[in-house]
Amino acid sequence: MSMAKKLFGSLRPDTLNKDRYPAFTRSAEEQYLQTLLTNTLSNTFYADQNELLAGAEQLHHEMAAGSPEFMAKAIVFARNEGFMRLQPLYGLAVLSMYRQDLFAKIFLQVVRIPSDLSDFLTILQGLGRGEGGRAVKRQVNRFLSQVSEYWAMKYNGRGRGYSLGDAIATAHPKPQDLKQQALFRYLRGLETNLTLLPQVEALEQLKLTTDEEEQIKWIEHGKLPYETVTGAIKPSKMVWEALLFQMPTFALLRHLNTLQRAGVLEKQANVDYIVNRLTDEQALKKAKILPFRLAAAFRQVEHPELRDALREAAELTFNNLPELGEQTAIFLDISGSMNGQYLEIGSVFALAMYKKTRGNSLFWLFDTEVVDAKPSRKDSILTQASQIHARGGTDTGAPVRKLIRERRKVDQIIIITDEQQNSGSPFYEQLRLYRSKINRDVKAFIIDIAPYRHAMVPDHDPQTFYIYGWSDTVLSYIAQSVQGYSPLVEQVNRMDVDE
């Protein structure tokens, strides 16, 4: 790129955002990362599922044709660092049409669990690829060689899309021993020797009894996962209590209300156990629970001790976040289009960052006006996040104008937004003015948590960083970038995806 192009070619908006307001077109790599990390194909304020699906399909094919190596790395990053599933699987299916070598290299890094395989095969069929050909079957066989009794019970789900049995019937993997042969036969619904499969045998025995004590005996004997039990029988209070002690952390979080309705929380020992699980920092880290999941649970749960445990869990989730420095301005978009999950995510992120600046940063909320959120370092992230509500239009330049007006010098500006400006002066225009009048070295971090593809800042600004996604790694990336790390696209480019 020429120096003239770099300096002047992208200073003016060259497109319109979803609200028909001037915006910038970002690079294909930036757009692709955003799609992978934020697009769940759920209806949003400005786009429905069909529009999001069409946009994603176009990007997947463009990347596969033009930048397949970057595409492969970005897919792995989104699946394992961003904790996203559907878009990485969609990208993997498209990549298999263009570069079978790259597809094979990353398959097992993207298809991690049987539900991934089921969705991947469903996507392939939806793309008109049928069973995907030999290259796909080879990778499916590699995956099926890892199938365990636990997976067989938890994920088979015959009659609900592609099951493990369907995959075995399609790929024809060769069993490695008698136990695997029995497992494959069971998954296909064929008669088999269950003595070789003690967990499966326990499940089949569970289905045959209505006696509570007998049910619990088989659950404990087979160490049966809760999803398998709830699919086989209607659990009583006693059965739910038995299931409580073998639930993974994420499952426990999702079933707090169910456990309360079943009467399990009437026993203080059970409540104490749940509190200890939810406040186990290592267990939270291992479970890779997205921060907004805690906020959603907090919104739904009424039990006071569990609400306190969720408050503590949110604080622990961000314990390992590096310090951001005190001279930071945090701006949270609370406009109408952020209502719901976006604002829930954004509020948790913003408050976590505020606490990491030791409470010495600015934390402002904005729509078309700007207000000081007046956050507390002592009150929990979840309590404060629940008190932030959406309203009004969007003027992304408003908080920067306030900085200029008050002559406030900060070293970094962090803005959390869906970028859909519809009034006022653009963010980038005000950012350039701030750099010319107050601090020419200020870094700007734009956390985009929506799948809309237009940007409010042009490419090639070395002091402005885009970050996409919903996981706590978003905040870690900001902290690293403050210390001199490179933009997200460059970090993905440097990844090694060799198995």
Q: What is the pLDDT of residue 305?
A: 96
- How deeply is 430 buried, as exposed, middle or buried, from its count of CB atoms within 10 A (0-12, 13-18, 19+)? buried
Q: What is the pLDDT of residue 156?
A: 72
pLDDT band of 102, cuts 50, 70, 90: very high
- The answer to whether residue 399 scores a pLDDT higher than 90 is yes
263 Cβ contact partners less than 8 Å away, ≥ 6 residues apart: 237
Cα separations in angstroms, 126 against 36, 93, 121, 123: 19, 10, 9, 5
CA nearest neighbour of 143 among 161, 121, 126, 159: 121
Whether residue 61 has pLDDT greater than 90: yes
Question: Can you tell me the distance from the alpha carbon of 107 to that of 437, in angstroms, rounded to the nearest whole number?
Answer: 50
Q: Determine which of 89-98, 237-246, 417-426 has the lowest per-residue pLDDT on average.
A: 417-426
Q: What is the mean pLDDT of residues 15-25?
A: 74
pLDDT at 482: 64
Q: Sign of dihedral through CA atoms 47, 48, 53, 58?
A: negative
What pLDDT score does 311 carry?
A: 95
Region of poorest pLDDT, from 132-141, 156-165, 253-262? 156-165
- Where does 13-127 show beta strands of DSSP type E? 15-16, 22-25
Range with the lowest mean pLDDT among 6-15, 201-210, 280-289, 381-390?
6-15
Check pLDDT > 80 for residue 169.
yes
Mean pLDDT value across residues 29-39? 86
Q: 361: which DSSP letter?
A: S
The pLDDT, as a whole number, for residue 5 is 46
Ramachandran class of 99: left when φ > 0, alpha when ψ lies in -120 to 50, beta otherwise? beta
- Judge whether 384 and 375 are in contact, CB under 8 Å: yes
Return d(Cα 276, Cα 278) in angstroms, integer: 6
Q: When comparing pLDDT for 473 and 198, which is higher?
A: 198
First to last CA, the chain: 34
| CATH 3.40.930.10 is held by the domain 328-493 | no
Q: What is the predicted pLDDT for the residue at 43?
A: 61
Contact 311, 301 (CB under 8 A): no
Cα separation, 79 vs 207, in Å, equals 35
> Which residues, other chains included, contact 343 with Cβ-Cβ below 8 Å and sequence gap of 6+?
334, 388, 389, 390
User: In the beta sheet, which residues pair with residue 370?
Assistant: 366
426 CB contacts (<8 Å, ≥6 apart)? 13, 21, 22, 396, 397, 456
Residue pLDDT, tens place only, 273-326: 999 999 998 888 888 787 778 998 999 999 999 999 999 999 988 876 767 777
Q: What is the pLDDT of residues 349-363, one digit of tens each?
A: 899 889 888 878 899
Cross-strand partners of 22: 16
Q: Which pLDDT score, from 0 to 100, does residue 484 have?
A: 63
Place of tokens 């799948």: 451
Q: Could you tell me which residues come within 8 angstroms of residue 251 by beta carbon, excluding any fewer than 6 positions away?
A: 226, 227
Starting at the edge strand found earlier in the chain, the sheet holding 15-16 runs 15-16, 22-25, 454-455
Q: What is the pTM of this model?
A: 0.82
Q: What string of DSSP letters covers 290-349?
A: -HHHHHHHHHH---HHHHHHHHHHHHHHTTTPPP--SSEEEEEE-SGGGTTHHHHHHHHH
Q: Which two tokens stand for residue 194?
A: 């269950």
User: Which residue from 138, 143, 149 is spatially nearest to 192, judged by alpha carbons?
Assistant: 149
Q: CA–CA distance from 118 to each of 163, 211, 242 (Å)?
A: 6, 34, 30
